[in-house]
């Protein structure tokens, strides 16, 4: 049985304005993975190959052994490094067992091009523009309440 991730995608700020048709097109671009606690998801200094959406559990971002923040449900992690073609600026490790959706470089390029919805491209552009000037000091921002519709999108696309 193939499970779809419409609800999880729609609950993620990056995709929250997508229509059902857009979500149906996005769904096959995501690969679900179960991650054990302690696994490194991305390492500081490595080239970005993919990004991921946290469905369950949480991860911790560190730089030079200093904790920068945590990622919880509905956070998109590693996307700005894909936008910039840059290296990850932090190491992200699963602090608990996690369930994530992985979006590879090719799929993310398609999202950023607007092919799957103008709202996605626009949100990637806006967040990237806001965070690019602070790339040298960018940190992982925690998502404290993913269901709070008044929450700001800070950290929605963490540059790690």
What is the arrangement of strands in the sheet containing 31-35, beginning at the earlier edge strand? 31-35, 98-104, 50-56, 76-77, 157-158
How far apart are alpha carbons 81 and 47 in whole angstroms? 8
User: CA Rg, the chain, in Å?
Assistant: 14
So where are the chain's domains?
A: 6-145+154-158
Residue 83 predicted with pLDDT over 70: yes
DSSP classification of residue 39: -
| pLDDT, tens only, 26-39 | 888 899 999 999 99
Report the pLDDT value the prediction gives residue 75, as an integer from 0 to 100: 92
Cβ–Cβ < 8 Å for 100, 71 = no
Q: Does domain 6-145+154-158 have CATH number 3.40.190.10?
A: no
Q: How far is CA 37 from CA 57, 69, 148, in A?
A: 9, 16, 27
Q: How confident is the model at residue 21 (pLDDT cuts 50, 70, 90)?
A: confident
Q: pLDDT above 70 covers what percent of the chain?
A: 79
How far apart are alpha carbons 83 and 5 in whole angstroms? 23
| pLDDT, tens only, 9-19 | 888 888 888 88
How far apart are alpha carbons 96 and 27 in whole angstroms? 25
Q: What is the mean pLDDT of residues 107-112?
A: 84
Q: What's the mean pLDDT when you consider all of the chain?
A: 80
Residue 24 predicted with pLDDT over 90: no
Predicted TM-score (pTM) above 0.75: yes
């Amino acid at each position: 049985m193939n499970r779809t991730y419409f609800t999880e995608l729609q609950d993620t700020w990056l995709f929250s304005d997508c229509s059902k048709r857009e979500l149906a097109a996005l769904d096959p671009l995501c690969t679900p993975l179960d991650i054990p606690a302690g696994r490194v998801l991305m390492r500081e200094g490595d080239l970005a190959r993919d990004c991921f959406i946290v469905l369950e559990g949480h991860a911790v971002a560190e730089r030079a052994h200093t904790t920068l923040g945590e990622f919880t449900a509905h956070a998109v992690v590693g996307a700005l490094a894909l936008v910039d073609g840059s290296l990850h600026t932090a190491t992200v490790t699963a602090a608990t067992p996690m369930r994530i959706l992985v979006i590879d470089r090719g799929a993310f390029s398609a999202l950023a091009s607007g092919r799957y919805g103008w709202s996605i491209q626009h949100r990637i552009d806006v967040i990237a523009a806001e965070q690019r000037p602070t790339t040298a000091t960018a940190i992982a921002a925690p998502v404290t309440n993913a269901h709070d519709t008044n929450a700001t999108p800070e950290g929605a696309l963490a540059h790690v």
